[in-house]
Chain A
Amino acid sequence: MSSTADKVIEVICEKLSVTADQCLPEAKFIDDLGADSLDTVELVMELEEQFNVTIPDEVSENILTVGDAIKFVEENA
Chain B
Amino acid sequence: MELKRIVITGTGVISPVGNTTQDFWSGLLSGKSGLDTIKGFDTEGHRCTIAGEVTDFDPTQYMEPAAAKKIDRFCQFAIAASNEAVEEAGLKDSSIPAERIGVLIGSGIGGLATLEEEVEKLVTKGPRRVSPMLIPKMIGDMSSGIVSIHHGFKGPNFTAVSACASSTHSIGEAFWILQRGDADVIVTGGAEAAITPVGMAGFASMRAMSTRNDDPQGASRPFDKDRDGFVMGEGAGILVMETLESAEARGANIIAEFIGYGATADANHITSPADDGSGAAAAITMAMKHAKIDPSEVSYINAHGTSTPMNDKFETRAIKSVFGDNAPNIPISSTKSMTGHGLGTAGAWETIVCALAVKNDKIPPTMNYTTPDPECDLDYVPNKSREVSVDIALNINLGFGGHNATGLVRKFK
Interface residues of chain A, those whose CB is within 8 Å of chain B, are 16-17, 34, 38, 41-42, 45, 48-49
Contact = CB atoms under 8 A, between A and B. Distances in A.
Contact of A38 (B69, B125, B129, B132): B132
Main secondary structure of the interface of A (DSSP, over half): helix
Nearest to B136: A38
B292 interface: no
A38 B65 CA distance: 17
Nearest to A41: B132
A17 B60 CA distance: 13
Contacts, number: 20
A42 B66 contact: no
B133 interface: yes
Given A45-B128, A45-B129, 18 more contacts: A16-B66, A17-B64, A17-B65, A17-B66, A17-B69, A34-B66, A38-B132, A38-B133, A38-B136, A41-B132, A42-B131, A42-B132, A42-B133, A45-B131, A45-B132, A48-B128, A49-B125, A49-B129
B contact residues, range = 10 to 19
A44 to B, nearest CB: 10
A30 to B, nearest CB: 14
A74 B83 CA distance: 45
B63 to A, nearest CB: 12
Interface in B65-112: 65-66, 69
Nearest to A37: B132
Interface of B: 64-66, 69, 125, 128-129, 131-133, 136
A28 to B, nearest CB: 17
A49 B131 CA distance: 12
Contacts of A34: 66
A20 B68 CA distance: 20
Contacts of A49: 125, 129
A36 to B, nearest CB: 9
A17 B70 CA distance: 11
Contacts of A17: 64-66, 69
B111 to A, nearest CB: 15
Which 8 residue pairs of A and B lie closest in terms of their CB atoms, listed nearest first? A17-B66, A41-B132, A38-B132, A42-B132, A42-B131, A17-B65, A38-B133, A42-B133
B230 to A, nearest CB: 36
Contacts of A45: 128-129, 131-132
Nearest to A18: B66
Which of B128, B131, B132, B133 neighbours the largest number of chain A CB atoms within 10 Å of its CB?
B132
Nearest to A35: B66
A34 to B, nearest CB: 7
B62 to A, nearest CB: 16
A15 to B, nearest CB: 9
A38 B129 CA distance: 13
13 contacts: A17-B69, A38-B132, A38-B136, A41-B132, A42-B131, A42-B132, A45-B128, A45-B129, A45-B131, A45-B132, A48-B128, A49-B125, A49-B129
Contacts of A41: 132
A12 to B, nearest CB: 13
Contacts of B64: 17
A34 B66 CA distance: 10
Contacts of B131: 42, 45
Nearest to B68: A17
Contacts of B128: 45, 48
A41 B125 CA distance: 17
A28 B69 CA distance: 21
A48 B65 CA distance: 24
Contacts of A16: 66
A48 B125 CA distance: 12
Nearest to A54: B128
Contacts of B132: 38, 41-42, 45
Contacts of B65: 17
